């Protein structure tokens, strides 16, 4: 179909309706036939711009990719966050490119990314702190019963045995900790169920204080 034929035919119909002269109408009809029979020119791909990535955009795209992979390593290891890991893999590339292009144009974005990567996740002190977080959280989970006890604060009056109990209570919840830790029994079975670990302790003449090594009344087997 011609790019102009439909409009021109509409003009011809309007001219006929308005009572145009026969010669003029025939001229318009001939012009329409000529346009309809004309082959379209070959489209040129040169018009489509090629988007090139600058060196700065590439640098910061890779930094963002590195940061997202840092999060990915945490999320992929927990059943409750596995969907988050999938989301990072699915949408991470386009996010990295977009942030890289923004960093190419905005110095403040570059400084923020440098701080989060060079001074953050790649800083050995930060890496040490992050590495100890799972241990600390698991220790809290292991002693959940003691930590989640309801606490009613009180003030003791000096030089007396009297106490003033405050009219509120503290009740610590460990929902966040549970998301990123294992059940203590599951973790214990996983670690000390490994024969190599049991053997390593046995060579040092250390008996592991684990349920299979004890009778029902708490005596060593």
- Inter-CA distances, 99 with 2, 34, 56, 113, 129, Å: 43, 52, 11, 9, 27
**C-alpha to C-alpha distance for 180 and 3, rounded to whole angstroms:** 62
Q: So what's the pLDDT on residue 215?
A: 53
**Displacement of CA 177 from its chain's centroid (Å):** 19
Please say if the pLDDT value at position 4 is more than 60. no
Domain that residue 199 falls in = 182-221
- Domain assignment present for residue 60? The answer is yes
pTM: 0.53
My answer on whether 116 and 59 are in the same domain is yes
Structurally, the chain folds into a number of domains equal to 3
- Domain assignment present for residue 134? The answer is no
**C-alpha to C-alpha distance for 108 and 102, rounded to whole angstroms:** 10
Q: What is the mean pLDDT of residues 143-153?
A: 68
The proportion of the chain whose per-residue pLDDT surpasses 90, expressed as a percent, equals 23
C-beta of residue 140 within 8 angstroms of C-beta of residue 147: yes
- Domain assignment present for residue 62? The answer is yes
Q: So what's the pLDDT on residue 148?
A: 65
Split at pLDDT 50, 70, 90, the class of 56 is very high
My answer on whether 115 and 59 are in the same domain is yes
- Domain assignment present for residue 147? The answer is no
**C-alpha to C-alpha distance for 65 and 97, rounded to whole angstroms:** 9
Could you say which DSSP state residue 211 is in?
A: G
C-beta of residue 175 within 8 angstroms of C-beta of residue 197: no
- Domain assignment present for residue 12? The answer is yes
Task: Give the long-range contacts of residues 81-90, CB within 8 A, separation 24 or more.
Answer: 81/179, 81/180
| Mean pLDDT of the residues in the chain | 78
My answer on whether 19 and 72 are in the same domain is no
My answer on whether 62 and 108 are in the same domain is yes
Among the three residues 72, 91, 122, which one is the final residue of a domain in this structure? 122
Q: So what's the pLDDT on residue 216?
A: 47
Backbone φ, ψ for residue 163 (5° rounding): -130, 145
Q: So what's the pLDDT on residue 1?
A: 47
- Domain assignment present for residue 154? The answer is no
My answer on whether 74 and 107 are in the same domain is yes
C-beta of residue 120 within 8 angstroms of C-beta of residue 141: no
Q: pLDDT tens across 87-130, in order?
A: 999 999 999 999 999 999 999 999 999 988 887 888 888 888 87
**C-alpha to C-alpha distance for 143 and 211, rounded to whole angstroms:** 17
My answer on whether 60 and 109 are in the same domain is yes
Q: pLDDT tens across 163-215, in order?
A: 766 565 555 567 777 777 888 888 888 888 888 988 898 898 888 887 665 55
My answer on whether 70 and 100 are in the same domain is yes
Q: So what's the pLDDT on residue 113?
A: 93
Ranges of beta strands (E only) in the chain are 154-156, 163-165
Among the three residues 122, 145, 169, which one is the final residue of a domain in this structure? 122
Split at pLDDT 50, 70, 90, the class of 38 is low
Give the range among 38-42, 66-70, 141-145 with minimum mean pLDDT.
38-42
Higher model confidence: residue 8 or residue 102? 102
């Amino acid at each position: 179909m011609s790019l102009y034929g439909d409009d021109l035919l509409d003009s011809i119909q309007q001219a006929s309706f308005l009572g145009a002269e026969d010669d003029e109408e025939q001229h318009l009809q001939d012009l329409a036939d000529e346009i309809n029979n004309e082959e379209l020119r070959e489209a040129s791909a040169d018009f489509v711009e090629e988007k090139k990535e600058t060196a700065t955009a590439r640098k910061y795209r890779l930094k963002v990719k590195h940061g997202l992979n840092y999060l990915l390593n945490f999320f992929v290891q927990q059943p409750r966050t596995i969907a988050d890991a999938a989301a990072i893999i699915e949408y991470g590339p386009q996010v990295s490119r977009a942030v890289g292009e923004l960093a190419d144009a905005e110095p403040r974005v570059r400084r923020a990314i440098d701080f989060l990567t060079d001074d953050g996740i790649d800083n050995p002190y930060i890496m040490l702190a992050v590495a100890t977080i799972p241990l600390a959280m698991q220790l809290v989970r292991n002693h959940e019963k003691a930590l989640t006890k309801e606490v009613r604060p009180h003030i003791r009056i000096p030089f007396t045995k009297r106490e003033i109990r405050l009219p509120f209570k503290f009740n610590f919840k460990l929902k966040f900790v549970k998301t990123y830790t294992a059940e203590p029994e599951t973790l214990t079975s996983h670690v000390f169920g490994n024969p190599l670990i049991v053997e390593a302790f046995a060579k040092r003449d250390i008996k592991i204080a684990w349920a299979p090594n004890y009778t029902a009344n708490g005596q060593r087997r």
